[in-house]
Amino acid sequence: MTEFDKLMQSAWQTARPPADGAALAASVHRTRSHRRLRRCLEIALTLAGIALLARPLFGAATTPAYWLVMPFFVAYLPTIWWLLLRNTQPSPVDAAQSVRTYAHSRLTQLRAGLRELRIARIAAIALLAYAIIGAISAFAFGDPAWQAPARDLLVYAAICALGTLWLSRWQGRRRLREYRAMRRLA
């Protein structure tokens, strides 16, 4: 084991007392509040999607907008919850192990995160392709009732694709940097 590895291992396994207990407690509380708020937002969006899909079951008319958006929600809702439920975070038990054990555990998590970012990019591009095909079909073969919803879907899909690609690139760079650092430790 090299000197650097020994230093990293001792630094990793040494518990540092917090400089200010109140600041640490506030930080933990803030993090938990953000996590709860994010989960509530995810649940609200899911319930809104299910409500939109279930409207025809309660007597609402099935408009062209419904038929254009339904395939997206049918694919999106199960996929996003599958990704959210399998999202892993570093555990305190892993952090208490040796540097090599933690590095291998974190490498696995980072690979999964990079794979999920790739899935998000593919999904955003697939939604954009679906919206383009829907818009072309609506303008070429559909009546005016289909054209406005198809145009709106195309605009929203383009905004979603651009936002997803930007966020994926931003998070991907950070995760890739950490992945390379962990590979050096492993």
Whether the predicted pLDDT of 136 surpasses 90:
yes
180 pLDDT band (50/70/90 cuts)?
A: confident
Residues 76 and 168 in one domain: yes
Residue in the block written with tokens 């207990």: 21
Whether the predicted pLDDT of 2 surpasses 70:
no
- Domain assignment present for 13: no
Q: pLDDT digits over 10-20, tens only? A: 666 665 555 66
- Domain assignment present for 66: yes
Q: pLDDT digits over 57-77, tens only? A: 888 777 887 777 777 777 777
Q: How far apart are CA 102 and CA 181, in angstroms?
A: 12
pLDDT on residue 158: 92
Amino acid making up residue 80? I
pTM: 0.64
Residues 163 and 86 in one domain: yes
Q: pLDDT digits over 89-131, tens only? A: 555 655 566 677 777 777 888 888 888 888 888 888 988 998 9
Residues 156 and 185 in one domain: yes
Which of the pair, 55 or 79, is modelled with greater confidence? 55
**Half-sphere exposure of residue 90: CA atoms within 13 angstroms, side-chain side:** 14
Q: Which of 38, 61, 84 is the last residue of a domain?
A: 61
Q: Residue 51 sits in which domain range?
A: 19-61
The encoded tokens of residue 147 equal: 């054209």
Q: Which of 28, 45, 61 is the last residue of a domain?
A: 61
149 near 64, Cβ under 8 Å?
yes
Q: pLDDT digits over 49-58, tens only? A: 788 778 888 8
